[in-house]
Chains A and B, each alone.
Chain A
Amino acid sequence: MNAIVADDKSVSTRTVALVGRANSGKTSVLMHVTGSRQRPVNFPGTSVERVESEVRCGDVLLRVVDLPGIASLEAASRDEEVALSFLRSTADAGADLLCVVLDAAKLPIELRLLQQIRGLGRPIVVALTKVDVAEREGFPVDVDRLRRAVGLPLVAVNGFDGTGAEDLRTELASTSLRAASSEAVPTMADGVRGRTSRRSRTDRLDAVLLHPIVGPVVLAAVLLSMFQLVFTVAEPFMAWIEDAQGLVGSWVVASVPDGAVQSFLVDGLVNGVGASLVFVPQIALLIAFVTVVEASGYMARAVFLLDRLLRRFGLSGKSFVPLTSSFACAIPGIVASRILSDERDRLATIVVSPLMSCSARLPVYVVLLAAFFPPAQAGLLLFLLYLLGIVAAVVVALVLRRTVLRGGGSMLAMELPVYQRPRLRVVAFAAWFAVRGFLRTAGSVILVATVVVWALGYFPRSADVHERFERERAATPAGAEGDEARRVIDARESAAHLEGSWLATLGRTAQPLFAPAGFDWRMTVGVLAAFPARELVVPTLGTLYSLGDVEASTDDPDPRLGEALRTTPGPDGRPAVNGLVALAVMAFFALCSQCAATLAAIRRETHSWRWPIFTFSYMTALAWSVAVAIYQIGRLLGFAPA
């Protein structure tokens, strides 16, 4: 029974900190020892999450805290810093008992770490993991001999099937809370027999996966399948969420009378919540995929293969993880940058992550490409838009590392762990963890931003405009035959209201700024409306080009929006948007920082407003410059009417 009775006086609580290297199997130990009641909590004063879990063992309630991995008592990354400050905090703020998780497959260095941890003067129980891996790698461990040599309570736990977890739990609950003495130094030879000379499974796999030619090919295939998974598998789930959003919206329309309240509920609240929820499937899938790659041991191989290439661009092999995640969504990517040990590498990676074309840009690309380009060209242009983001990221990273982020002792010195089968529970938990974090922080920001844009686009409401359209509606034939006409009038009315709104006033005021890029005032409004969250642009353009509600969709771009974009006249009577303008708009979206949630994530991860402000400024400036350059050069080359 895992029942937790907080006010039961006969139960004493013990806080146990799980300490060990990354890859030592801490998370598996936590899961086996405590069952499934994990919950993520933030370390006080930081954004670094830790996993906590409680389990009752006799009269003792064990509160087990999983700390980020450490390699020594000297912090080399932000994660390690957090773990170490928790270890060093006093007993009432920190842990009563340390559970040091040691990987049997590399015992000599694990024992050195154990020795350092003993110096902290805390009671210690040792959990020895991967005894089977050590055996397979040719370094069998004699557990009893090791226990005697170490002179501490020591329990072998199998991270995969949980053998030994029961014993470890009992040991944690019953062991004396006296500080472990810091003597009894086992030597390297203790408990480790000589290496048997056969090649292990990991050696054989590495021969292929790290092969100079085959290795990169496999890596490319893994990356491609990740994109494929994130885009195709997530698609039906995203469609369900959009459908559900539509259902809730129409239910509100049916049950709330017309007016500001209804519009706020539907256009502000429901669409705002939907705009965040729709990314949940992609985030969950991406994190699940990344966790599988990570837990299997392949991630470290990818970093190894790419380190030299990425270092040329002022990044590190480890930047690969956040940058790849950013193709789905920059937020998990920015969070993943914590693995970078060098602060300058980490900042450079965070700042360029939002340049990777995320999934929210795709609907904009798809609508404009379908409207202005034949399918054959559209595919190529789509590829070029992704490439534009990558090239921009490389250039910005290079510039940053040569200027404000110059120098820095970037380190690789990284373990390539033994390959293992990832555990479903670990993967599912990581995905849930990420989704929860996203919904909490990003969701609230997107929601607030959507409501602000809604208010700017809704007010002031002119009664004259409404009167005018009421008269037109009265002139339409009654019954079913007039329905179509009335729908058109409704759409024109909402467009007329939008034209008179503060948002449109803003758009007209700002339009001269975007005129050099060829944007008309409607496109300018769309761009402005998209600053809080870029997924707002398609619905906004839909309203502006008099269509009523247009749903953002990747596979079925609304043909009516494409038609309206092609035909709506500009001030000179010619269509306001043409292929060249569309290209400029897409380039603008590829490079611009239009996502309040991303900026909030950068603020969280860098603990300062400086980096989100910098990211916003440089991306907006870059986007504007490139959009203007495309339009002006295109005009000079005669691609569009002057």
Chain B
Amino acid sequence: MGTVAAVAGDDALARRLIAAGIWPGVVVELLGAAPFGDPLLFRLHGYRLALRRAEAERVSIVPVEGAP
């Protein structure tokens, strides 16, 4: 679990991530990964979003205290 700090960049991908609900302060939870560790599955705003590792690396987060 973590809280979104920022989305890096200002290209189509960054705008796509923002449209998907990745905004500063939003809590995201890592649910799991596909075979071989990519892509990753997250939960945010109550829905499930699949992101490639490279896409997820654009999003910096602050870990939530006490969460695994």
Contact = CB atoms under 8 A, between A and B. Distances in A.
Nearest to A308: B38
Interface in A278-309: 300, 303-305, 307-308
Interface in A184-200: 188, 192, 195
Interface in B20-34: 20-21, 26, 31-34
A412 B12 contact: no
Contacts of A212: 33-35
A212 B41 CA distance: 13
Contacts of B16: 71-72, 74, 76, 411, 413
Given A71-B19, A210-B34, A409 B52 contact: no
Contacts of B46: 105-108, 134, 137-139, 192, 195
B6 interface: no
Interface residues of A, number: 42
B51 interface: yes
A109 B19 contact: yes
Interface residues of B, number: 29
Contacts of B13: 409, 411, 413
A492 B17 CA distance: 69
Contacts of A413: 13, 16-17, 20, 49-52, 55
Contacts of A213: 35
A613 to B, nearest CB: 30
Interface in A88-113: 103, 105-109, 112-113
B10 to A, nearest CB: 12
Contacts of A416: 41, 48-50
Most buried by A among B39, B48, B49, B55: B48
Interface string A46-88: 0000000000000000000000000110101000000000000
Contacts of A303: 50
B35 A215 contact: yes
A251 B32 CA distance: 63
Nearest to B18: A72
Contact of A72 (B15, B34, B41, B45): B15
A278 to B, nearest CB: 39
Contacts of A192: 46
B52 A305 contact: no
Given A76-B16, A109-B19, A414 B55 contact: no
Given A307-B52, A415-B47, A416-B50, A106 B21 contact: yes
B65 interface: no
A108 B38 contact: no
Contacts of B51: 412-413
A422 interface: no
Contacts of B21: 106, 108-109, 112
Interface of A: 71-72, 74, 76, 103, 105-109, 112-113, 134, 137-139, 188, 192, 195, 202, 206, 210, 212-213, 215-216, 300, 303-305, 307-308, 317, 409, 411-418
15 contacts: A106-B21, A106-B45, A106-B47, A112-B21, A210-B41, A212-B35, A215-B34, A305-B34, A308-B34, A409-B11, A409-B12, A413-B20, A413-B51, A415-B20, A416-B50
Shortest 7 CB-CB distances between A and B: which pairs?
A72-B19, A109-B21, A106-B47, A416-B48, A139-B46, A108-B45, A412-B52
Interface of B: 11-13, 15-21, 26, 31-36, 38-39, 41, 45-52, 55
Given A106-B21, A109-B45, A416-B41, 7 more contacts: A71-B20, A109-B20, A305-B34, A308-B34, A409-B12, A414-B49, A415-B48
